Chain A
């Protein structure tokens, strides 16, 4: 499990990325992480840098929130515009856009679901958001639920019918919430699988098949979970 031997380790990748770029100020080759070694000017985070790289983490799904936060704070101290007020206009612009990228990176990676969605987009090369879709086995149930919801919205809430519909919806909400938690548990398992596969770092065809399986299942689960989550929120708001 030694990350440093893996050829796809982000640190190596970042260094490669940086090595290819030149300092915007003194034109020397930038080898340092965020600053030019020679003129000590802050360097813009490359457009190609993904959020994992930006925060100095490998593409894993089970990140330690404490470590993530610590890194975010550290980099905030590096890039925040507050510390560039006495610097040149160019440096201020770079600090501003770097800080904005850093904030987006942290926001994306901090929430496990968003983190997984982002990784999926990176790994499968699709930039579009994952479409939400109803779980196949819940299709009938959800159609029925939509009808009940409509009925409830149209009904007099204080009538007997209103009360009955409301309690049906409540039961449904609880069931869907349980379902959501199940899916999240399954996702958790997939996250672990993904991390294990990455840590092993094998390039066998078996590993490739496993990788595709995880990503595929993850995509389906994520899109189902979002769908269910939206309904749960909708239900909660309606019967609140």
Chain B
């Protein structure tokens, strides 16, 4: 079976890992960096991803997308109150958020796909083989739409997503592989955009998730915002400047807020320096760890409620937990560690690199799927209850939260009116009584043969697969015939839209490759032009007039070609110039050899 890689598609950072000789390892770039910032920027040379895109956050804020994971599987109304924090333009079409970049609009799965492609390329370069299959991680508390959006992103990136796996459980696989622990563990995953808690029982290679809970909109980003608000207020008070009006400076403030937060994990106080708009100079202030902690205490407290719910759902008390594992960059904050320690009554475990452990676990799961690792098995759960709308706007639960997946439920439907030919079904996810308080997942219409009321009997099977994604099938119990169901997602791309995006992505891929080739050809041509020019200056006197003339002519042609957009034309002119200057180069070499052999004489002569 072709190699399957494991990908941690994070809010802030993404990584790709694979299994090498029974051990998972993360793929670094040429500079040894393992994390790809989850940032995409539109530049004059096209779309760029990762570290280089991050540099555009302040230079080009309206065209630089970060934290796109927060928008996956969401509608505009869901994110309305945080839009002010994002400098890029967000709209909605067909229940799906779109992000404007230059002339085009992209859905969050398309932006995520660009990050995935970058990881794919990185893995391909490192492994020297083409990568087409992947396991991708998502926050455990992601709902069906968010999972589906992630799967779509994979497809658009040209990856077959063999499994969507939960981040904390992935971490537990990496952890279990290394520690060979048995017992009950709690994985506390506090990253850039999301918070998850999962409680697992590890026994004889089985990783059984007992309960999971979380908040898909709670992470380091939210901590940064508290500081951003503080600094902006400060600047307004001191200088009367509204930084909010300057997107580039907003990004400077945000990045400095994040850096200050990170510094305060090691230091007790830190100096903040921010360049002000309108050449008003520098804003400086001091921030202590105490101040930071009192500002963010409320947010960190919000992670504890899901922990208590998960414990309760698992039927456990904190003392039943043998080990607490910390995952995600935000768990480096001392206050987070203190609060976790206080809740569980034991010191959390953080021997594994919290940045990499999720990707490593995804690689382990990939290895299980490809048949490499056979002694480990993950039994995960669905984080949210699944149900359908019944009379009076009430949700009737079919599969409860924390049910081990795959999980299925069957429901029989019939008609209320003679000759009725369809039954509308509305699928929901959530824990509340009323439909309006839960998440609408999808709607579909069940086809029913026209018969007297109550006679048709259609059995609908709701199956949550091992990815935590819902599949619906229906069977007419009278005829035994199954019926295909076209589910219309409430917050997601339709199948046809995804297909179009895959095509687009291949088209762009060709364009991208061309752009890259052009840039490379131009760079090479410029280097050749420069050296040839220099040779002409240094050694023009050693060749004939005609020869020098012909070289200059070819040189001009190449210089012309670099103004065009065809990399092949540039390459052809380059070869011509190399040919034309061949003799000149030989003469130059001879001359320099002669000079060095008779070095002494030459110097003596002069």
* Contacts from A to B (Cβ < 8 Å): 73, 76-77, 80-83, 85-86, 96-97, 99-101, 103-104, 106-107
Contact of A99 among B371, B403, B406 (CB under 8 A): B406
In terms of DSSP, what is the predominant structure of the interface of chain A?
A: helix
Asked if A85 and B370 make an inter-chain contact with CB atoms under 8 angstroms apart, the answer reads: yes
Q: How far is the CA of A85 from the CA of B371 in the complex (A)?
A: 8
Contact of B407 among A81, A85, A86, A100 (CB under 8 A): A100
Contact of B404 among A82, A96, A107 (CB under 8 A): A107
Q: How far is the CA of A81 from the CA of B378 in the complex (A)?
A: 11
Contact of A81 among B1, B204, B371, B406 (CB under 8 A): B406
Q: How far is the CA of A106 from the CA of B405 in the complex (A)?
A: 12
What is the count of residue pairs linking A and B with beta-carbon distances less than 8 angstroms? 57
Is the C-beta of B576 less than 8 angstroms from some C-beta in chain A?
Answer: no
Chain B residues whose C-beta falls within 8 Å of the C-beta of A73 in the assembled complex: 203-204, 206, 208
Chain A residues whose C-beta falls within 8 Å of the C-beta of B243 in the assembled complex: none
Chain A residues whose C-beta falls within 8 Å of the C-beta of B408 in the assembled complex: 97, 100-101, 104
Task: Take A76-B377, A82-B466 as given contacts and tell me if A100 and B406 are in contact as well, using a CB distance cutoff of 8 Å.
Answer: yes
Q: How far is the CA of A104 from the CA of B461 in the complex (A)?
A: 14
- B356 CB → nearest A CB, Å: 23
Q: A82-B163, A96-B406 are in contact. List 13 more A-B contacts (CB 8 A).
A: A73-B204, A76-B377, A77-B377, A85-B1, A85-B370, A86-B1, A97-B408, A97-B463, A99-B406, A99-B466, A100-B406, A103-B405, A106-B404
Task: Take A82-B368, A86-B370, A86-B371 as given contacts and tell me if A96 and B465 are in contact as well, using a CB distance cutoff of 8 Å.
Answer: yes
Q: How far is the CA of A235 from the CA of B525 in the complex (A)?
A: 81
Asked if B206 and A82 make an inter-chain contact with CB atoms under 8 angstroms apart, the answer reads: no
Is the C-beta of B369 less than 8 angstroms from some C-beta in chain A?
Answer: yes
- B181 CB → nearest A CB, Å: 16
Chain B residues whose C-beta falls within 8 Å of the C-beta of A103 in the assembled complex: 403-407
Q: B195-214, CB under 8 A of A: which get 1 and which 0? A: 00000000110101000000
Write the chain A residue with the least CB distance to B208: A73
Chain B residues whose C-beta falls within 8 Å of the C-beta of A81 in the assembled complex: 406, 465-466
- B587 CB → nearest A CB, Å: 64
- A128 CB → nearest B CB, Å: 12
Chain A residues whose C-beta falls within 8 Å of the C-beta of B162 in the assembled complex: 85
Write the chain B residue with the least CB distance to A81: B466
**3 closest residue pairs by CB, A with B:** A100-B408, A100-B406, A85-B369
Is the C-beta of B379 less than 8 angstroms from some C-beta in chain A?
Answer: yes
Chain B residues whose C-beta falls within 8 Å of the C-beta of A76 in the assembled complex: 206, 377, 379
Asked if A82 and B377 make an inter-chain contact with CB atoms under 8 angstroms apart, the answer reads: yes
Q: How far is the CA of A81 from the CA of B369 in the complex (A)?
A: 9
Q: How far is the CA of A83 from the CA of B374 in the complex (A)?
A: 8
Asked if A80 and B369 make an inter-chain contact with CB atoms under 8 angstroms apart, the answer reads: no
Q: How far is the CA of A85 from the CA of B404 in the complex (A)?
A: 19
- A236 CB → nearest B CB, Å: 12
- A94 CB → nearest B CB, Å: 12
Write the chain A residue with the least CB distance to B133: A85
Q: B174-217, CB under 8 A of A: which get 1 and which 0? A: 00000000000000000000000000000110101000000000
